[in-house]
Amino acid sequence: MQHVSLSFGKRTILQDAHMTIQQGEFIVVLGPNGAGKSTLLKMLLGLINATSGRISVLGRSPRSGNKDIGYAPQHRTLGGDLMLRARDLVGFGLDGNRWGFSLPSRKRDTIIYQALEEVNALHYADAPVGQLSGGEQQRLLIAQALLTHPHILLLDEPLASLDIARQQDIVTLVGNVCRARGVTVLLVAHDINPLLPVLDRIIYIANGQSLIGTPDEVITSANLSRLYNSPVEVVHALDRIFVVGAEV
């Protein structure tokens, strides 16, 4: 991203953003509600155009339908009455952009089952999605995003609404995929602490400004006070990072 700005009317989401992300990096995107974290992912997907500046994704301008990018959007836990099978939900990642039903094929089934196995969800492939836990449903969305063997994986708040144990399961899963496949991961989150063992760098977005770097470089009292235009204290304790004085 070079000199990238994005505005909606009088509201500035990003202003003169510069950043370069390397192949295989695990990047966590942080910031307050409404700061533009999800919007950043949609810009990389070609769903939203920057107001100004240049974005290059894998050497090309962002474009919708790019199979080199896997995307798992924000989701709410699906209702208990949804009887769609887990493997059918994952299969939408192969044919969800086409009208009608896909025809069964051995190759298609093999791809789906390989993705389910990679996220350790093969044992509930035939279970109704509505009867699965939030963490199990999240694994299906990640499997769906992996079906096309993407070079980049964009995950929008995959830890939301999960308990601590399920959060750690998802973090470990995504970290393993990132390292094993050499996939670049951008993961939107509200809390950095569960992700500290696996991340390489973070992007912090607030009030139209953005910073990129390691947690120690970015999450400082001086940086966050400047981003929020308000006094913020960063405290390190018990191998965790605590931010006091601003919504995070």
Q: For position 54, what pLDDT does the model report?
A: 96
214, with CB counted inside 10 A (0-12, 13-18, 19+), is exposed
Number of C-beta neighbours around residue 28 at 10 A: 24
Q: For position 46, what pLDDT does the model report?
A: 94
* Rounded distance between C-alpha atoms, residue 213 and residue 178, angstroms: 18
* Rounded distance between C-alpha atoms, residue 77 and residue 70, angstroms: 20
Q: For position 41, what pLDDT does the model report?
A: 96
Q: For position 108, what pLDDT does the model report?
A: 86
Q: For position 60, what pLDDT does the model report?
A: 94
Q: For position 131, what pLDDT does the model report?
A: 87
pTM (predicted TM-score)? 0.90
Long-range contacts for 43-48 (Cβ within 8 Å, ≥24 apart)? 43/4, 43/6, 44/69, 44/152, 44/154, 44/186, 45/69, 45/71, 45/154, 48/6
Q: For position 102, what pLDDT does the model report?
A: 55
Among 54, 46, 48, 49, residue whose Cα is nearest residue 16:
54
Contact (CB, 8 A) for 4 and 14: yes
Domains of the chain: 2-244 (3.40.50.300)
Q: For position 98, what pLDDT does the model report?
A: 46
Q: For position 247, what pLDDT does the model report?
A: 54
Q: For position 99, what pLDDT does the model report?
A: 43
Q: For position 104, what pLDDT does the model report?
A: 63
For each of the chain's 248 residues, which pLDDT tens digit applies?
999 999 988 889 999 999 999 999 999 999 998 899 999 999 999 999 999 999 999 999 999 889 899 999 887 666 666 678 999 889 888 765 444 455 567 888 899 999 999 999 999 999 998 888 888 999 999 999 998 899 999 999 999 888 899 999 999 999 998 898 899 999 999 999 999 999 999 999 999 999 999 999 999 999 999 999 999 999 999 889 999 885 54
Q: For position 100, what pLDDT does the model report?
A: 44
